[in-house]
Amino acid sequence: MAKEYSRTQRIGDQMQRELAELIRREVKDPRVGLVTITAVDVSRDLGHAKVFITVMGEETPDAVQQSLKALNSAASFLRLHLGRSMQLRSVPQLHFHFDESVSRGVHLSALIERAVAEDRLHKDTDESDTKE
């Protein structure tokens, strides 16, 4: 049986697709780097939407803050274009937030790889000690 999605989830998914295209095509601010929208969380009353982004390439805190500042200042512009493309009666207020889950996942992956490599090293040294 197909999974049922609520209206807010469907609107969030469509907003994610539309915003990705709008940012790529319409936002000309040089402070906005390569931005990826990872999720859009829409409130139940459709009044507010949290837009989670990651910045590809240069992930320095300064670059992230500049991108967030530029996107939050362009929020009303993006909201206007969203209203036209999505044909919603009321378009949620956009609030951009940095999504740390991607960088956290990369960090955890590196830790796991390092632990596995150390285990292999210890296993190899233990096997060579038992052979002698």
* 42-52 pLDDT tens trace: 999 989 999 99
pLDDT per position as a tens digit, 64-112: 888 899 999 999 999 999 988 888 888 899 999 998 887 788 888 989 9
- pLDDT per residue over 29-66, tens digit each? 888 878 889 999 999 998 999 999 988 876 678 888 88
Model pLDDT, residue 4: 67
What secondary structure does DSSP assign to 21-83, as a single string? HHHHHT---TT--EEEEEEEEE-TTSSEEEEEEEEES---HHHHHHHHHHHHHTHHHHHHHHH
The model's pLDDT over 14-27, given as tens digits with 9 standing for 90+, comes to 999 999 999 998 88
